């Protein structure tokens, strides 16, 4: 989302941005998981304060709520 906003601010046409930054693409979901695992060592948060910190970290890197939720939802369902 961050990249999307920066490109739009620079005057790149919306359809061109959408074409090249397909947010629903599975690669983004894999990328958010890779970033999360690298930064937090793959350790699931034990309380809501730590979870909120992890979510903020990923938001600041431009990931969407849907992409971030896949980390916590999939691990919670598998537990």
pLDDT tens sequence across 12-67:
999 998 887 775 667 888 899 999 999 999 999 999 999 999 999 999 998 889 88
Q: Are 2 and 28 in contact (CB under 8 A)?
A: no
Closest CA to 36 of 21, 22, 50, 20: 50
Phi-psi region of 62 (alpha: psi -120 to 50; beta: other; left: phi over 0): left
Cα of first residue to Cα of last residue in the chain, in angstroms, is 30
Give the pair of three-digit tokens for residue 4. Answer: 């999307």
Is the model's pTM score more than 0.75?
no
- The C-alpha atoms of residue 57 and residue 38 are separated, in whole angstroms, by 12
């Amino acid at each position: 989302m961050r990249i999307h906003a920066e490109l739009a601010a620079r005057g790149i046409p919306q359809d061109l941005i959408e074409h090249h930054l397909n947010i629903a693409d599975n690669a983004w979901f894999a990328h958010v998981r890779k970033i999360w695992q690298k930064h937090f060592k793959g350790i699931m948060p034990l309380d809501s304060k730590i979870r909120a910190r992890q979510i903020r970290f990923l938001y600041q890197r431009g990931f969407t709520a849907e992409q971030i939720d896949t980390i916590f939802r999939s691990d919670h369902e598998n537990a």
